């Protein structure tokens, strides 16, 4: 027998063995039950609130993160270290919509972040800005598992886990692979020894008692407080009126780096994770987020107030900047497209008026079209489009919760004679395009933001053209994209599309990347690549690219290399070098190439386009672009040629007869301007006079644009440019006229002076009369025919204004007729918005005091405060031919704000009579105007002096301007004004000399007697 136990309880050796076996069996049973429970809770590590897990660790509390300690460390690096990767966020937001005692709107929140430790570290860095941390707690997870998403055939990706040894498991497999079902023991707790804020890179720094272990998962719990912003960034509060009742809403705008102002996070685009969100809000409001709401509950605060808690489903793996939150009292309309619930939210008044219906009608078809085109399913089950009365950006593509400015998304059918409908098509298509380009596949770092915005900008035109046949792709792309970016890319402020990753080393350098080069130029380069690769091959490669990098990140080299695999796998498309080399020659260089063809020798050459008005060269003059040359010879399309050197001889481009002609860059799919030898230009001009239909509309428009710009820059003679305009009597496409008139009416080099006016009037009216009469007939008969035609409503006012300015009797009569009808019935204004400015101007000019008084009275009515209507009226009031009315207008305007007064002066300076009255008034009243309204004479230099200088035609007129500047301006503005006048005088007088000699000579030879 054995000794007696000290407790007085004795067990024999045999009994002890039996008891040990019993305990082992019980422990095994508990393990099995734990595994079964884990199976039934569907991976609670992701979907259960993190704070319900059995985590025990010391809590660190501080009311405000202290500032940097001054010690060097990893927090000095502008990029987060690779040591930690966020896997999942459990986030609660509680925004208050009533001010506290200090007038602030409080935001309180809690975020629990599941983190995977990749490399051992004793410092946790994450982003946080303008948030006060009240509690911080860090603990290891009991199970060392990583999150992973698996794309399935369903809309929602399946959420699963990955073991640290690399094996992957999903919901049905997780339970049988738990490493440890026990809670974390106290000896594994991670104490936070120091918590502070590093301001330079907006880091929250947590220094730990001991290092985290590579391969393990941890949970970081943070409670925090902040404030809602009022500047439409981060999580902001905004007021608005609905049915004339004041209301507020809360919404987010987090791109590029404002997520950190809403919740502490790893705020870099490549650090994707899943998110489960709860929003606490007033029960009379609705809460929206990226995913569908799955539950609501009630919460009572310390004051006994009851709040609604809306919980949303777990998101797919995504970047922080597209997380989104809205709390509002909006209404919505809804539809379903391929199982995707689509809702369009807006103010209740707007919904009732039916203004959301158009957006709802087009959103679903665009989703389906892009799904089919890209051959990649849209992975979400719901999409909300929310129209904000005001927001800091035009729109934001948050996954599943797209936010728009109200005037971008809402379409009022009464605005059918404007660009409103086309604009809504474009902006909706752009944001839907982002669901693939940006949300599904995201750039690795902000230097490649063009992979998001360039593709979305390109596909906005494809989507809009699909939804509205009037929005023809090539013409729309030229008018809305190429015209402006071709000009901007010659300016001193131009920059390459691509930026080196290390160059974006400060948060303040990210926002400036969201410019026209990221959007418009990148879209143009993508369109060019799609053309020379062929649309079929391009789409095949892009579809594979999207699938390869789904729920992940890419850079531009990854894009080009991925497309190269498909290029190498076929024989139809041959490139002179790898795609990456071709596209690098474009994305890494600023400026636009000028391709020059000499048809007498067949020599094709390239160089950077340098405009005379830009002293700063925008590109390396020795840079060589790899240029695809799309061309036509005598009307027949020719094989693609690559210009991959500064110059090369192309025998096929040599012509021997004046009847032969060549057009390069057909359909303007290449990103370059074109110049030819005079012989080819004149052959083109001759062919246009015979038959214009051999050239697409967009090519005719671009050819006119190129010719005028190159003449102004000294690359070709003005006579050669004007030869191209002889055919315009046959031109009935408004896009072509839109470009021609922009150049003819150019303030810097206007061809209309007192000397040239009689000849120019005859020349232009003979050519513009046919297209004016065409649209005048439509205006009188049924202008509904032009409803929602963006090309008509962009260009018709220039045609109308030019015809009336040149004294076309039919134009002046129509303006008077429309204006008189409006005066007779003010309850409705039937003057089409697209020509309203010109009708007001010439209706008043052809009338007298009565017509002017009517506009003045209407201008001063409180119900006439629409921006565009006020602008049209201000312009019209300056058009009267009565000097005393103009003087009165100026006198009355002295009692208004300086901005309005400067607008009045600017409008008057554009009219001959008004210019003289305004100039005399300005000289007589300068001191009073400066003291009362303008405050700073720099306003004059910046806004009025250029208007006056652009109209001066003699040395004496410039001397008068210089004397006025010297006499009236303060010393700081005076030197700047005089310097500008000297430069302007030289260029202006040189132009007047060319106009009064060569151009008038040309007009005399090409303007036979006519009825005009």
Three-class DSSP category at 271: coil
Among the listed residues 105, 519, 718, 738, the single catalytic one is 519
Question: Exposed, middle or buried: residue 19 (CB in 10 Å: 0-12, 13-18, 19+)?
Answer: exposed
Give the pairing type, strands 673-676 and 593-598. Answer: parallel
Is the omega angle on the peptide bond into residue 256 within 30 degrees of 0, that is, cis?
Answer: yes
C-alpha span between 163 and 148 (Å, rounded): 10
Q: Output the CA–CA distances (angstroms, integers) from residue 591 to 74, 586, 609, 619, 621, in the order listed.
A: 38, 9, 7, 5, 10
* Closest of 551, 552, 150, 156 to residue 340, by C-alpha: 156
Say whether 449 sits in a helix, a strand or coil: coil
Helices (H), 171-213: 171-174
Rounded to whole angstroms, the Cα distance separating 37 from 39 reads 5
- Residues with Cβ within 8 Å of 652's Cβ and at least 6 positions away in sequence, in order, are 602, 633, 638, 641
Closest by CA position to 613, among listed 153, 983, 65: 983
Q: How many CB atoms lie within 10 A of CB 867?
A: 7
Residue 62 in 3-state DSSP?
coil
Q: What is the CA radius of gyration of the chain?
A: 34
Three-class SS of residue 757?
helix
C-alpha–C-alpha distance, residues 560 and 566, integer Å: 10
Interatomic CA distance for residues 202 and 260, integer angstroms: 8
Catalytic residue among 253, 255, 406, 431: 431
203 tagged catalytic: no
Query: Is 519 one of the catalytic residues?
Result: yes
DSSP string, 888-918: HHHHHHTTS-HHHHHHHHHHHHTSHHHHHHH
* C-alpha neighbours within 13 Å on the C-beta side of residue 225: 10
Residues 844 and 852: beta-carbon distance below 8 Å: yes
CA nearest neighbour of 621 among 583, 590, 644, 577 = 590
Beta strands in 496-561 (DSSP E): 552-554
Spatial contact of 399 and 316, defined as CB atoms under 8 Å apart: yes
- CA distances for 46 relative to 56, 115, 158, 882, angstroms: 19, 12, 12, 76
**Residues carrying an active site annotation:** 431, 519
């Amino acid at each position: 027998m054995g000794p007696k136990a000290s407790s007085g309880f004795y067990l024999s050796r045999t009994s002890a063995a039996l008891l040990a076996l019993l305990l082992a069996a019980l422990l095994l049973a508990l393990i099995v039950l734990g595994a079964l429970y884990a199976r039934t809770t569907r991976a609670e590590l992701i979907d259960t609130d993190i704070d319900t897990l059995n985590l025990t660790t010391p809590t660190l509390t501080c009311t405000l993160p202290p500032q940097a300690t001054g010690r060097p460390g990893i927090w000095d690096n502008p990029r987060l270290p690779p040591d930690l990767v966020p896997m999942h966020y459990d986030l609660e937001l509680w925004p208050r919509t009533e001010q506290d005692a200090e007038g602030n709107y409080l935001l309180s929140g809690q975020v629990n972040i599941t983190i995977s430790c990749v490399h051992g570290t004793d410092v946790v860095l994450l982003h946080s800005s303008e948030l006060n941390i009240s509690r911080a707690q860090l603990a290891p997870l009991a199970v060392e598992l990583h999150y992973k998403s698996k794309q399935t055939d369903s809309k929602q990706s399946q959420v699963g886990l990955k073991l640290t040894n690399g094996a992957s498991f999903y919901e049905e497999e997780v339970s049988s692979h738990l490493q440890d079902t026990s809670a974390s023991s106290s000896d594994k707790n991670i104490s936070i020894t120091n918590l502070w804020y590093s301001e330079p890179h907006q880091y929250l720094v947590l220094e730990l008692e001991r290092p985290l272990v590579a391969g393990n998962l941890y949970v970081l719990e943070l409670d925090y407080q902040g404030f809602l912003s009022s500047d439409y960034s981060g999580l902001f509060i905004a007021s608005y009126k609905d049915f004339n009742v004041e209301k507020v809403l809360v919404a987010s705008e987090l791109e590029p780096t404002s997520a950190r102002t809403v919740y502490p996070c790893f705020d870099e685009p490549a650090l994707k994770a899943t998110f489960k969100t709860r929003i606490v809000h007033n029960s009379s409001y609705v809460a929206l987020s990226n995913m569908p709401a799955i539950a609501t509950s009630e919460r009572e605060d310390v004051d006994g107030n009851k709040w609604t808690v809306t919980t949303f489903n777990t998101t797919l793996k995504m970047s922080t900047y597209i997380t989104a939150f809205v709390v509002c009292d909006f209404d919505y309309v809804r539809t379903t497209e391929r199982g995707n619930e689509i809702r369009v939210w807006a103010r209740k008044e707007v919904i009732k008026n039916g203004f959301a219906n158009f957006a709802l009608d087009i959103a679903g078809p665009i989703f389906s079209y892009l799904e089919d085109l890209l051959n990649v399913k849209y992975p979400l089950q719901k999409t909300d489009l929310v129209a904000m009365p005001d927001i800091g950006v035009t729109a934001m593509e948050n996954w599943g919760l797209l936010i728009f400015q109200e005037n971008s998304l809402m379409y009022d059918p009464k605005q059918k004679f404007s660009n409103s409908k086309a604009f809504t098509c474009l902006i909706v298509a752009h944001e839907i395009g982002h669901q693939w380009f940006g949300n599904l596949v995201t750039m690795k770092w902000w230097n490649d933001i063009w992979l998001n915005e360039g593709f979305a900008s390109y596909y906005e035109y494809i989507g809009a053209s699909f939804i509205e046949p009037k929005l023809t792709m090539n013409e729309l792309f030229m008018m809305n994209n190429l015209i402006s970016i071709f000009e901007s890319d010659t300016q001193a402020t131009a920059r390459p599309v691509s930026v080196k990753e290390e160059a974006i080393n400060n948060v303040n350098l990210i926002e400036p990347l969201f410019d026209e080069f990221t959007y418009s130029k990148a879209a143009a380069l993508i369109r060019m690549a799609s053309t020379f690769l062929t649309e079929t091959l391009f789409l095949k490669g892009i579809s594979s690219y999207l699938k390869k990098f789904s729920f992940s990140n890419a850079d531009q080299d990854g894009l080009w290399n991925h497309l190269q695999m498909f290029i190498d796998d076929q024989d139809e498309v041959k490139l002179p070098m790898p795609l990456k080399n071709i596209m690098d020659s474009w994305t890494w260089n600023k400026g636009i190439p000028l391709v020059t063809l000499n048809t007498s020798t067949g020599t094709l050459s390239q160089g950077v386009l340098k405009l005379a008005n830009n002293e700063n060269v925008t590109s390396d003059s020795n840079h060589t672009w790899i240029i695809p040359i799309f061309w036509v010879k005598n009307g027949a399309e020719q094989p693609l040629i690559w210009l991959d050197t500064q110059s090369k001889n192309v025998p096929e481009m040599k012509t021997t007869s004046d009847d032969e002609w060549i057009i390069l860059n057909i359909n303007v799919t290449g990103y370059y301007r074109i110049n030819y030898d005079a012989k080819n230009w004149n052959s083109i001009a001759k062919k246009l006079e015979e038959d214009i239909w051999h050239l697409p509309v967009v090519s005719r428009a671009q050819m006119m644009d190129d010719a005028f710009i190159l003449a102004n820059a000294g690359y070709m003679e003005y006579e050669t440019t004007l030869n191209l305009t002889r055919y315009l009597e046959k031109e009935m496409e408004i896009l072509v006229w839109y470009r021609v008139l922009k150049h003819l009416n150019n303030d810097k080099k206007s061809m209309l002076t007192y000397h040239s006016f009689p000849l120019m009037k005859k020349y232009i009216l003979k050519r513009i009369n046919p297209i004016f009469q065409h649209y005048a007939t439509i205006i009188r008969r049924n202008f509904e025919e032009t409803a929602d035609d963006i090309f008509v409503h962009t260009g018709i006012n220039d045609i109308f204004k030019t015809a009336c300015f040149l004294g076309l009797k039919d134009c002046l009569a129509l303006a008077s007729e429309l204006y008189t009808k409006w005066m007779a019935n003010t309850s409705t204004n039937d003057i089409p918005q697209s020509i309203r400015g010109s009708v007001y101007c010439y209706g008043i000019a052809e009338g007298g005091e009565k017509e002017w008084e009517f506009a003045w009275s209407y201008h001063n009515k409180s119900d006439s405060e629409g921006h565009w209507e006020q602008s049209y009226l201000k312009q019209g009031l300056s058009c009267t031919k009565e000097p005393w009315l103009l003087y009165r207008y100026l006198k009355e305007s002295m009692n208004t704000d300086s901005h309005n007064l400067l607008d009045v002066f600017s409008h008057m300076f554009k009219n001959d009579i008004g210019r003289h009255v305004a100039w005399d008034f300005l000289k007589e009243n300068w001191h009073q105007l400066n003291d009362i309204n303008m405050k700073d004479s720099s306003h004059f230099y910046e806004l009025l002096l250029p208007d006056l200088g652009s109209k001066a035609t003699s040395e004496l007129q410039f001397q008068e301007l210089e004397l006025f500047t010297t006499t009236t301006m303060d010393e700081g503005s005076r030197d700047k004004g005089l310097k500008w006048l000297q430069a302007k005088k030289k260029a202006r007088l040189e132009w007047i000399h060319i106009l009064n000699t060569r151009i008038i000579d040309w007009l005399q030879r090409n303007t036979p007697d006519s009825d005009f």
